Amino acid sequence: MNVSRKQPRSSALLAPVLAALLLLPIVPSPARAEGDCLQLYVTCVVEASDLDGVPRRSWAGIRCAYDLLACLQRRLV
């Protein structure tokens, strides 16, 4: 009786997982890009909140939102 032993499934997945972990820092991450853009947005909004008058703060806030969208578009497209 010849019984073949199958390799455990966990060791079959080990090589691809290790390869992915080694290559992960090289690949640009959309999440990292979004984080950078969000950090710029937060900084912009904090600076906008220091402005005098509601109209100036409002326009600066709109500009921050526009810059956020432009940043995400550049990074993700």
What pLDDT digit, counting tens, does each position of 44-75 carry? 999 999 999 999 999 999 999 999 999 988 88
**Would residue 11 count as lying in a domain?**
no
User: How far, in Å, CA of 77 to CA of 39, rounded?
Assistant: 19
**Would residue 47 count as lying in a domain?**
yes
**Would residue 59 count as lying in a domain?**
yes
User: How far, in Å, CA of 48 to CA of 42, rounded?
Assistant: 10
Q: pTM of this prediction?
A: 0.55
The CA distances from residue 36 to 42, 58, 63, in Å, are: 10, 23, 17
**Would residue 39 count as lying in a domain?**
yes
Range in 9-13, 22-26, 45-49, 51-55 the model is least confident about: 22-26
**Would residue 10 count as lying in a domain?**
no
> Do 35 and 68 form a contact (C-beta atoms < 8 A)?
no
**Would residue 19 count as lying in a domain?**
no
Domain, as residue range, for 62: 28-76
**Would residue 1 count as lying in a domain?**
no
Please tell me the total count of domains within the chain: 1
